[in-house]
Chain A
């Protein structure tokens, strides 16, 4: 279904959804830092900046409670978190690089174990994508098979038009329901041209060739030259729309506490530190190798997909300038 919506009506739509009690998550400024966060009103939404963290946290939060316990004398009580409590959500203004990562994550969260936290939120969330108009030289969505107008992952997709307003296209029942439930705010498509979209400068990688090299080069001196500089923080994984490793910890006292799920990162020394004291990834290049292997080989082996959407966040935020696009390009030329 194709429609048109004015900026004013898009704001009215968001305010209406908020008034209905839905959680509306969109890019907004938090003390100057752009983040996907629940809006109090539509005026908070910004559309001109890529949020510092990705959209994955609408489904896979930085930290969430997964269970709680209380103990009194000999009586121990365990309480599950009821996923039914997750609110109906509309995730709006999602960049194509962020939206495209969500179906990629579906594969792992509904694989041998069905992660009810992720899947329940996923079920209850409608994703409104927004075509991207601004790229910098860290952006490389076009190198991994996506584009600034890619609709992958979006239920409804907005393309900004010359002269204002957005062209809307639906890609799922959820998208159609959203439009139908608020039909008065949408009009029939007009002939206005889309504004100039972003043009990332990177050429498409030959991902098959990259994978073929990775298949054969678990041990290779290249890993040292690539990642000796890595200092072992989790910044790349935490801002990544596709990284999804987590750690589970119990926090509290003997009497009561919570079991919590936190983001984790393969760059951390502790990530593979065994209880025995042994660490199979004892040096940083081995940890960084896992980052590349997981994104461009293991995930492909297991799910036939690439675990990178080219958002460029890890490149912009790496403390030591590690550039995954440059690394993958280098591998593709080997």
Chain B
């Protein structure tokens, strides 16, 4: 049964974001703010960088504000001014990426002004942006959100989102895949990877894909076949999943932007589950110096050495 999800607070949240943005830009507390602005299509939104207090009224928060804006603060995005303190509008899920980037010495907390968003959820990728938020139209990641109210921000509007309990789809799908034989599971992923067109949208939106030069873009030597064929596609998606293990906190941007509907976040969630089971480690709320795959302790599981 379709459940309507209450997004009435988003109007008040928008107003609060605007007035805070206006204040901090006018006071010179930040040099720029990365947020969301309305776009041409009805109900749509797109990322925007504002540097003037006059532009604060352009900022919005609606169910179409799907992007994880953390990507704009990484060194991969050379276009965004990195001097001075930068403001950023963050949902709870996006904040986890910023926390991870701080842990990896990519960002310093004091250089950021975090405008947290009380969020009941955003729309799934293939939904028309003016669609109301319901249990059918909501993004899959929002069904298992544990960060409706971001913590530790510099400013969070006072509204509290109403968040109904929704069925968790990733957990169910991972359980289904785990129950398959290795051959069946391989067949499943082979089919999914065969759809890949190597547009690298998954890489480009990922806050953790900040390598100056991706391994997959190197040709001296050619580490990964660049053609969108089985060998290169599989190599790319395995490299991606492994490289994000213990780092990805589930913003699911990769999956949202995939033009070919490959369920990429399933791989990331599976890796996160492994890290939890093996090292009792979760990427997300706390700034860690080093993830478990970057450190060694004598307690590490060594049962794989046979």
Contact = CB atoms under 8 A, between A and B. Distances in A.
Given A62-B197, A319-B67, A326-B40, A231 B77 contact: yes
B227 interface: yes
Contacts of A237: 199
B111 to A, nearest CB: 19
A33 B78 CA distance: 34
Nearest to B49: A228
B197 A263 contact: yes
B263 to A, nearest CB: 10
B217 interface: yes
Contact of A321 (B44, B79, B198, B225): B44
Which size bracket describes the interface of B in this complex? 35 or more
B261 A33 contact: yes
A53 B196 CA distance: 12
B103 interface: no
Contacts of A222: none
A31 B195 contact: yes
B203 interface: yes
Interface string A309-334: 00000010101111101100100000
A233 interface: yes
Contact of B217 (A30, A270, A285): A270
A268 B200 contact: yes
Contact of B191 (A31, A52, A232, A319): A31
A234 B39 contact: no
Contacts of A137: 40-42, 128
A63 B46 contact: no
Nearest to A227: B79
Interface in B217-243: 217, 222, 225-229
A138 B41 contact: yes
Contacts of A260: 227, 229
B67 A320 contact: yes
Interface stretch (B88-96, B112-120, B252-260): B252-260
Nearest to A315: B41
A238 interface: yes
B205 interface: yes
Contacts of A249: 225-227
Interface in B43-80: 44-49, 67, 71-72, 77-80
B134 interface: no
Interface string A237-249: 1110000000101
Contact of B260 (A52, A269, A282, A320): A52
A273 B232 CA distance: 21
B204 A323 contact: no
A239 B199 CA distance: 10
Contacts of B9: none
A331 to B, nearest CB: 14
B47 A229 contact: yes
B201 A234 contact: yes
Contacts of B225: 249, 251
A144 B66 CA distance: 29
A232 B204 contact: yes
A15 B96 CA distance: 53
Given A228-B80, A234-B200, A268-B200, A30 B46 contact: no
Contact of A231 (B71, B195, B197): B71
A235 B257 contact: yes
A6 B224 CA distance: 50
Contacts of B128: 136-137
Given A63-B227, A231-B71, A238-B259, A283 B79 contact: yes
Contacts of B49: 228-229
Contacts of B46: 229, 320-323
B261 A32 contact: yes
A285 B79 contact: yes
Contacts of B40: 137, 323, 325-326, 329
Contacts of B257: 233, 235, 317, 319
A191 B77 CA distance: 59
A41 interface: no
A14 to B, nearest CB: 24
B89 to A, nearest CB: 14
Given A229-B49, A234-B198, A283-B79, A319 B204 contact: yes
A224 interface: yes
Nearest to B258: A235
A262 interface: yes
Contact of A30 (B195, B199, B229): B195
Given A137-B128, A319-B257, A323-B44, 8 more contacts: A63-B228, A231-B201, A233-B201, A235-B259, A249-B225, A262-B226, A283-B78, A284-B78
13 contacts: A53-B197, A137-B41, A137-B128, A138-B41, A228-B79, A231-B201, A235-B201, A251-B227, A265-B199, A282-B78, A319-B201, A319-B205, A319-B253
The 8 closest A-B pairs by CB, nearest first: A321-B46, A319-B257, A233-B201, A233-B204, A326-B40, A234-B199, A231-B204, A235-B201
